[in-house]
Amino acid sequence: MNWISGLLGIWVIVEQFLGFSPSASRILLVITGVVIAVLAFWPKGSDASSLSSLSSMGGGEKMPPPSGGSGAGTSSGNAGRQGGM
């Protein structure tokens, strides 16, 4: 995907020196901008599959809470610091 962005960037630079009329140049730049915007917002293969898995899980709301371990120590440490002030 990055190489497409690079090519489109080079096209925008080179297009200025090809001698198109101002109206043709404007149309080409608008089309190039639309292509860049579509590519920027187009979901990638891995992102699309992760989005569908999140929607089937309910947006991740049904995940279990983390097990004790470091989370409990952090909250008790914060409580101790607040009490000491």
Whose structure tokens read 């004790």?
68
Question: What per-residue confidence (pLDDT) applies to 61?
Answer: 55
- pLDDT tens column, 39-83: 888 887 755 555 555 455 555 555 566 676 555 555 555 555 555
Neighbouring residues of 5: CB distance < 8 A, sequence distance ≥ 6: 36, 39
- pLDDT tens column, 8-45: 889 999 998 999 999 999 999 999 999 999 988 888 77
Q: Are 20 and 28 in contact (CB under 8 A)?
A: yes
Whose structure tokens read 């309910």?
58
Alpha helices of 2-84 — where are they, by DSSP H? 2-15, 22-41, 45-56, 69-84
